[in-house]
Amino acid sequence: PAAPKHASPAPANQPAPAPVAQPAPTPVAEPVVNNNSPASDKSSGGNMGPIIVVILMIIILIAVYKLA
């Protein structure tokens, strides 16, 4: 009777932390990938960086003109 008692809580505890650990790293990995993508583009190609800056500047200018 001791063996089945120890066997039942073991599998019940194992699947619980597994699904909890899976969703945690996924959202954490997304912002890390987004933060590393512009840096890698600037270092490797150097074309995406200036384009992103120009787009941001245009968006800021449009927002300033709309507010003014």
Q: Number of folded domains in the chain?
A: 1
pLDDT of residue 32: 47
pLDDT of residue 58: 94
- Tell me which residue has tokens 């996924």: 26
Residue range of the domain that includes 12: 2-67
Q: What is the mean pLDDT of each run of 10 residues along the chain (68 residues)?
A: 55 50 47 49 59 90 88
Token duo for residue 65: 């003109």
Q: State pTM to two decimals.
A: 0.30
- CA–CA gap between residue 50 and residue 46 (Å, rounded): 7
